[in-house]
Amino acid sequence: MNKGDGKASRTPEKTGGDLRHHETIVHGTLKETIHSPPRKRSSQKEKKKATHSQTESHKRSKRKPKRSHPPRQKRAQQLPSHSYPHNDTRFPPPNTASPHPLHLSTKDGDHLAYHLLYENTDRKLSQQAKTFLSAAKTFRHDLPDDLDRETFVKTALQERKGIHRISDGRRGNIWRVDGAETQLAACLLGMKGVVVSAKGRRERFDLFGEGLEEAEGDVLLISRKVVYGE
């Protein structure tokens, strides 16, 4: 240690061959420097591997990505217009199987969901139509004898009490009867003809379908002009 110097240095002895830590005291403070071990030289094989991987990654980056095509969707079977009577396509042609819910475009621009019971050959819905008509017949049989059915029905149609005409067409007019008006629906189905207009037009009602979703519980009827001699 020299007296003329204002600092002192201390170097530890080498241990294990390499110097890993070097401490220097500068004006009473400790400064520590960590030295990393010497780097190993890469071999010729490692250089070739690195060059090969870079070349492959460059080739992959140049490849054009494959376009993903959306799966083809099956088109719904659409019958030609001449298959429908009078070209009225509001509901399926007669004597065809329609097991799934349908939608009817109404006069108000709505789309009413329903199950078709009119001239539907689907086994389940055909049986459902028979059950409903049988229940309506029993209901009519249990009505009071003093009930004037024709007057009752005529008043309901004129005042639109529980019944509304929602669709017009050459195959018939479709009516929506509130679910609470079971008596009205049963009477309409049991009559051979009902006056539906001020001009005296008489129409006969048949079961058309049952309402679904927002129309659940309602009954749909279809009416056609009574043909002379029918």
- DSSP-derived 3-state class of residue 133: helix
Please calculate the CA angle 212-218-222 and round it to the nearest 5 degrees. 100
Average pLDDT value for residue range 98-114: 93
For the cut 50, the answer to whether the pLDDT of residue 160 exceeds it is yes
In b/e form, how buried is each residue of 109-123, taking b as 16+ CB within 10 angstroms? eeebbbbbbbbbebe
CA dist list (Å): 91 to 18, 137, 165, 210: 93, 26, 16, 14
User: Distance between CA atoms of 150 and 49, rounded to whole angstroms?
Assistant: 98
- pLDDT tens digits for 48-70? 555 555 655 555 555 555 554 44
User: How confident is the model at residue 152, as a pLDDT?
Assistant: 86
pTM of the model as a whole:
0.63
Per the model's pLDDT, the better-predicted residue between 15 and 84 turns out to be 84
User: How confident is the model at residue 59, as a pLDDT?
Assistant: 54
- pLDDT tens digits for 19-45? 444 444 444 443 444 344 555 555 555
Among the listed ranges 12-16, 70-74, 98-102, 181-185, which one has the minimum average pLDDT value? 70-74
For the cut 80, the answer to whether the pLDDT of residue 90 exceeds it is yes
What's 205's DSSP letter? Answer: E
Alpha helix ranges (H) inside 25-77: 44-62
User: Distance between CA atoms of 87 and 92, rounded to whole angstroms?
Assistant: 11
